[in-house]
């Protein structure tokens, strides 16, 4: 019983930390757009 | 262009001149009629303003290629009468280039061997003395990569890093060079210091334009950093990588276990520049191409031969009409040359995404 309580406590703590990070963190979003396009040789 | 030539071979040549050309039509001799050389000859022969002669140690091959482009097959000694010689044979080129330069013939070398390129660069004074240009590294990489680098560099205020990756091979000789390159010692520039690392290490996943897409690339013994440093002396980091499989890397230091293909598949190059915009904002620019390596390499060599003859959109620029010329030199008409190369069937692409917002 004691072990189960510890496991639940550990999982809860981990979920809480993950939740905080999830809410507060900006996160890195992989590029969803873009790709290769024809190269322009005109000056920019 | 002053040239010391024996007039006798000219008579032979004129007897084979295609209709519509005159004795004043410039001659380009293509030395090496393999996958790349035959395409160089084909690209040049499509222009009515140039006569093409083909040289190869295999006379039947030279004859076949010459017939297909309405040119002529000649031997190496007769190539001295050409206005420009394109060296499209396996390295080394330095000794041949010296011989042609001494006879006042402009040279375009497609060599991608490090030692050979270093020797070619040492011919600068000789080329200046004889008043002829020597284009070094006029192929896909080096060559097209240098032009793309210069084009991208024009969009940055300062360039700090240049990283080149290449994939694929042209003909069997190119495949052998690829094999050697993964088993040699790579040259790179790190924080302004030259570094030498074993080739086949330093894996990096590189994305090329479609349909090549991604390949693991490794350091390789290629002359790219040496040539680019010559035209981008302020850049502090340079690297050149080449795609390879586990088998390529494992067997790189052994003789080739199986004969190379007659021609490789679709190859590609990827040029990545890191630096800062004029505003100081950091920026990464990426460009590249995916096409058969032989197509790209031959387009570059043919374009540079045309440029020497003044047949490209822009004639040789004042100040670099003689001596060693490296693609990427800011005095070259880079945009014009790239458009010429594109016109030879080489698609040029730039990457949008992380580094640059997509078109609105």
pLDDT at B2: 39
Instruction: Give the pair of three-digit tokens for residue B267.
Output: 């190859």
A-B Cβ pairs (cutoff 8 Å, strict): 49
Same fold, B8-139+297-343 and B144-296+346-350: no
| Rounded Cα distance, B92 and B76, in Å | 15
CA angle (B239, B243, B245) in 5-degree steps = 140
pLDDT in tens, B18-70: 444 566 789 999 999 999 999 999 999 987 789 999 999 999 999 999 999 99
Chain A residues 23-42 with a CB less than 8 Å from chain B: 31, 33-42
| C-alpha distance from residue B8 to each of A9, B81, B177, B197, B275 (Å) | 97, 10, 37, 51, 55
**For residue B224, which of B140, B306, B282 has the smallest C-alpha distance?**
B140
Chain B residues in contact with A40 by the CB 8 A cut-off are 350
In terms of CATH architecture, what is B8-139+297-343?
A: 3-Layer(aba) Sandwich (3.40)
| Rounded Cα distance, B240 and B192, in Å | 15
Q: Which among B154, B348, B354 is the nearest to A39, CB-wise? A: B348
Does the pLDDT of residue B84 top 90, yes or no? yes
Mean pLDDT of B290-303: 95
| C-alpha distance from residue B5 to each of B16, B83, B128 (Å) | 19, 10, 19
φ, ψ of residue A31 in degrees (nearest 5): -60, 130
Chain A residues in contact with B351 by the CB 8 A cut-off are 34-36
Does the pLDDT of residue A4 top 70, yes or no? yes
| Rounded Cα distance, B360 and B358, in Å | 6
Highest mean pLDDT among A19-28, B167-176, B227-236, B305-314: B227-236
User: At A24, is the pLDDT very low, low, confident or very high (cuts 50, 70, 90)?
Assistant: low
Instruction: Give the pair of three-digit tokens for residue B56.
Output: 């190869």
**Spatial contact of B338 and B269, defined as CB atoms under 8 Å apart:** no
Interface mutation vs chain A, best among B351, B354, B359, most A CBs within 10 Å: B351
Q: Which residues of B touch chain A, with CB atoms under 8 Å apart?
A: 148, 151, 154-155, 209-210, 287-288, 334-335, 338-339, 347-354, 356-359
φ, ψ of residue B200 in degrees (nearest 5): 90, 0
User: At A21, is the pLDDT very low, low, confident or very high (cuts 50, 70, 90)?
Assistant: low
Chain B residues in contact with A29 by the CB 8 A cut-off are none
Does the pLDDT of residue A18 top 90, yes or no? no
pLDDT at B19: 47
Sort B224 into a burial class: Cβ within 10 Å, 0-12 / 13-18 / 19+.
buried
Contact at CB, B209 and A38, closer than 8 angstroms: no
Average pLDDT of the residues of chain B: 87
| Rounded Cα distance, B121 and B100, in Å | 15
Question: Chain B closest CA to A25's CA: distance in Å?
Answer: 20
Torsion of CA B24, B25, B26, B31, to 10 degrees: -130
| Chain centre distance of CA B352 | 26
Domain ranges of chain B: 8-139+297-343, 144-296+346-350
Assigned CATH for B144-296+346-350? 3.30.360.10
**For residue B180, which of B274, B85, B111, B96 has the smallest C-alpha distance?**
B111
Question: Percent of chain B scored above 70 by pLDDT?
Answer: 89
Cis omega before residue B6 (within 30°)? no
Contact at CB, B352 and A42, closer than 8 angstroms: no
Interface mutation vs chain B, best among A41, A43, A44, most B CBs within 10 Å: A41
**Spatial contact of B41 and B303, defined as CB atoms under 8 Å apart:** no
């Amino acid at each position: 019983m004691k072990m189960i309580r510890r496991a639940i406590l550990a999982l809860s703590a981990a979920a809480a930390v993950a939740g905080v990070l999830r809410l507060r963190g900006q996160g890195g979003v992989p590029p969803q757009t873009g790709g290769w396009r024809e190269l322009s040789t005109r000056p920019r | 262009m002053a040239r010391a030539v024996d007039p006798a071979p000219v008579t032979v040549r004129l007897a084979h001149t295609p209709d519509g050309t005159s004795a004043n039509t410039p001659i380009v001799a293509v030395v090496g009629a393999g996958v790349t050389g035959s395409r160089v000859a084909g690209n040049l022969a499509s222009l009515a303003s140039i006569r093409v002669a083909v040289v190869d140690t295999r006379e039947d091959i030279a004859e076949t290629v010459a017939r297909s482009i309405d040119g002529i097959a000649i031997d190496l000694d007769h190539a001295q009468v050409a206005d420009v010689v394109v060296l499209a044979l396996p390295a080394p080129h330095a000794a041949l280039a010296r011989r042609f330069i001494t006879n006042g013939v402009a040279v375009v070398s497609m060599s991608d061997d490090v030692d050979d390129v270093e020797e070619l660069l040492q011919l600068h004074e000789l080329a200046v003395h004889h008043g002829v240009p020597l284009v070094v590294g006029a192929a896909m990489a080096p060559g097209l990569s240098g032009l793309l680098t210069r084009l991208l560099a024009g969009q940055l205020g300062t360039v700090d890093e240049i990283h080149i990756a290449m994939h694929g091979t042209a003909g069997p000789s190119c495949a052998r060079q690829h094999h050697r390159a993964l088993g040699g010692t790579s040259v790179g520039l790190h924080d302004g210091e030259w570094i030498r690392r074993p080739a086949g290490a330093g894996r990096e996943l590189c994305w090329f334009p479609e349909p090549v897409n991604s390949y693991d690339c490794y350091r390789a013994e290629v002359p790219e950093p040496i040539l680019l440093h010559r035209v981008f002396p302020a850049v502090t980091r340079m690297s050149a990588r080449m795609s390879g499989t586990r088998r390529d890397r494992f067997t790189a230091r052994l003789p080739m276990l199986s004969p190379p293909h007659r021609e490789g598949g679709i190859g590609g190059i990827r040029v990545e520049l890191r630096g800062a915009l004029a505003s100081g904002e950091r920026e990464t620019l990426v460009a590249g191409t995916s096409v058969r390596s032989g197509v790209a390499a031959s387009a570059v060599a043919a374009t540079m031969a045309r440029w020497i003859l003044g047949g490209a959109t822009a004639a040789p620029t004042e100040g670099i009409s003689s001596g060693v010329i490296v693609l990427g030199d800011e005095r070259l008409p880079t945009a014009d040359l790239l458009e010429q190369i594109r016109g030879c069937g080489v698609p040029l692409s730039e990457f949008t995404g992380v580094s640059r917002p997509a078109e609105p």
